[in-house]
């Protein structure tokens, strides 16, 4: 059975720390680009919704109508009121 060597352990720790800092630096460089793309995509979808409101308006009316009509509750049985007899 082999035992772990101290230089090998230190090397592994340095590799893990190096990967962590490399990821951190790349995230700082790439995050503004990714956020800008997400904002542009959201802006495009918002503009598209504002320019074409008709296809969704029929669907919105249907959902609003379903909220106005309460569904009747299913009756399970007859309600009986019991009085306490002394």
pLDDT digits (tens, 9 = 90+) for 36-86: 999 999 999 999 988 886 654 555 555 555 566 666 677 777 777 778 887
Structural domain contains residue 57: no
Structural domain contains residue 6: yes
pLDDT at site 11: 94
Tell me: the pLDDT tens digits for 19-34?
A: 999 999 999 999 999 9
- Report the domain count for the chain: 1
Structural domain contains residue 77: no
Q: Is the dihedral of CA 40, 43, 49, 50 positive or negative?
A: negative
Q: Dmax over Cα atoms in the chain, in whole Å?
A: 89
Distance between CA atoms of residues 24 and 16, nearest Å: 12
Structural domain contains residue 75: no
Distance between CA atoms of residues 86 and 67, nearest Å: 48
CB 56, CB 49: distance < 8 Å: yes
pLDDT at site 50: 87
What letter would DSSP give residue 73? Answer: P
Structural domain contains residue 66: no
Structural domain contains residue 58: no
Structural domain contains residue 76: no
Query: Residue 14 belongs to what domain range?
Result: 1-50
């Amino acid at each position: 059975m082999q035992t772990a060597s101290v230089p090998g352990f230190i090397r592994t720790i340095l590799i893990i720390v190096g990967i962590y800092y490399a990821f951190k630096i790349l995230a700082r460089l790439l995050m503004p680009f990714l956020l800008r793309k997400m904002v542009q995509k959201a802006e495009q979808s918002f503009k598209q919704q504002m320019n074409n409101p008709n296809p969704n308006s029929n669907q919105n009316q249907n959902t609003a109508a379903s909220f106005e009509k309460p569904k009747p509750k299913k009756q399970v049985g007859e309600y009986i009121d019991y009085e306490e007899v002394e």
